[in-house]
Amino acid sequence: MERRSDTPIPRAEPIQIDVPPIRDLVWPLVWVLAAALPMLARVGWQAALVAGLAALMFREARRRANRSTISFGDGFLAYAGTNGWPHGVQEDDDVHWNWSATRTARPGQGASG
């Protein structure tokens, strides 16, 4: 099969590799060395290994927590003084539970209907 001269030959694009910034490669090493070198000098290589791994895990947990978009308070209603005193949630509120299923539910305070 002959190639026609008017069709362009596709050129191969050069392969690009995204290299992370140098600080992303150096800082984990700094964290490990900062924790491991004193342990290596005082105790031994086993303690230095454990301290280095612990420092690396601490660093990674801290980075992930800082990048997290969720928080413990998501979904909770903020306090607003205009809502009044809460009813039925205080220990000293006199709220009695009705265990019988034969009684029909009535809309209470705050219920729409």
Model confidence band, residue 113 (pLDDT cutoffs 50, 70, 90): very low
Task: Say whether pLDDT at 97 is over 90.
Answer: no
Average pLDDT over residues 93-111: 60
Is the residue at 3 inside a domain? no
Structural domain for 44, as ranges = 22-65
Read off the pLDDT of each residue in 2-9 and give the average, rounded to a whole number. 67
Cα(63)–Cα(65) distance, integer angstroms: 5
Q: Is 17 a member of any domain?
A: no
Whether the pLDDT of residue 83 is over 60: the answer is: yes
Rounded-to-integer distance, Cα 61 and Cα 29, Å: 16
Number of Cβ within a 10 Å radius of residue 55? 19
19-77 pLDDT, tens digit per residue, is 888 888 888 888 888 889 999 999 999 999 999 999 999 999 998 888 887 777 666 66
In a domain, 107, yes or no: no
More confident residue, 87 or 12: 12
The full DSSP string for 41-72 is: HHT-HHHHHHHHHHHHHHHHHHHHHHH----T
Q: Is residue 86 part of a domain?
A: no
pLDDT of residue 18: 86
pTM for the full model? 0.45
User: Does an H or E element contain 76, and which?
Assistant: none
Structural domain count, the chain: 1
